[in-house]
Amino acid sequence: MPELPEVETVTRQLAPHLEGRRLDRVRILDPRWCVPDDAEATEEALAGRTITRLERRGKHLVWRTDGGTLLLHLRMTGTLLVGASPDVPYQRVVLTLDDGTVVRFCDPRRFGTGRWFAADGDADAHLDARLGPEPLGDAFDGAALHAAVVGRRAPIKALLLDQTVVAGVGNIYADEALFHARIHPLRPGAQLTRRQCDALAAGVKRALNDGLASGGATIDDFRHVDGFEGWFQLDFRVHRRAGEPCPECGAAVVKRTVAGRGTYSCDRCQTRPRVRRAGRTVAR
């Protein structure tokens, strides 16, 4: 699933094409895209709107218009393509601007969504109720992270994937951030010290900024608006590197499942937490 760097990359690339332009025509080819709203009503609401600003909140693309806000989520396989061929596969929505530019939302697995809000305040309330702080903003630091995980027994990897803890972090960047902070993905949130939370908050920012600098990561379907791939996958430290040597110590990178997601770590650099069982302490 595209995460913060991928969505931010798409937002930055789309902005010069869309900001200040009017949506002349909107065709929703797959009504599932805007459920629970009606596809025809959504087309009518969007047509004629001028796009004033593009933003990102968590993994959402936020299209502000002169009379409402459209929230788009790429989910697992969604892509937004500018100037693509009319016969590009998996089209779900086609948006035509007043200058003739065509933006096509393509999504082979059909999980991506679009939701129209007639009032900007309603869109913001929708996001604020579901998302924690932006990890690259001033509101996210070690203190905020420690407050969010204190007393929680879930593994820290699972907590980083919880969008109410921190917005926009997914599987790739959680693995990379935990490696930077030298924290094992299975360590319960409640066991993290304030110092460890400081290190992890810094690790999150570092991983996300690295991803942004590389135009995001393309493992399967993510594409830039011109169809090109990101290249952060070439610089992963541990993610998807099972069995390869750790770039710091040379030990083999280990893959396991945490919170239902394939998770990668170096068990030498990231010490496994220890638990007490039947009177003895063992590594998890």
9 close to 74: Cβ distance less than 8 angstroms: no
| Paired strand residues for 277 | 280
Residue 244 Cα distances to 70, 91, 264, angstroms: 43, 38, 11
Q: Identify whether 205 is a catalytic site residue.
A: no
* Residue bearing tokens 């990178």: 253
Task: Say how far apart CA 82 and CA 17 lie, in whole Å.
Answer: 8
| Paired strand residues for 97 | 23
Q: Identify whether 3 is a catalytic site residue.
A: yes
**Active-site choice (75, 110, 152, 261):** 261
**Active-site choice (49, 56, 59, 223):** 59
Task: Say how far apart CA 76 and CA 96 lie, in whole Å.
Answer: 24
Instruction: Kindly give, in sequence order, each residue whose CB lies less than 8 Å from that of residue 67, ignoring residues fewer than 6 positions away.
Output: 49, 118
**Active-site choice (2, 5, 133, 155):** 2
| Paired strand residues for 261 | 258
**Active-site choice (3, 6, 8, 43):** 3
Q: Identify whether 255 is a catalytic site residue.
A: no
User: Catalytic positions, please?
Assistant: 2-3, 59, 261
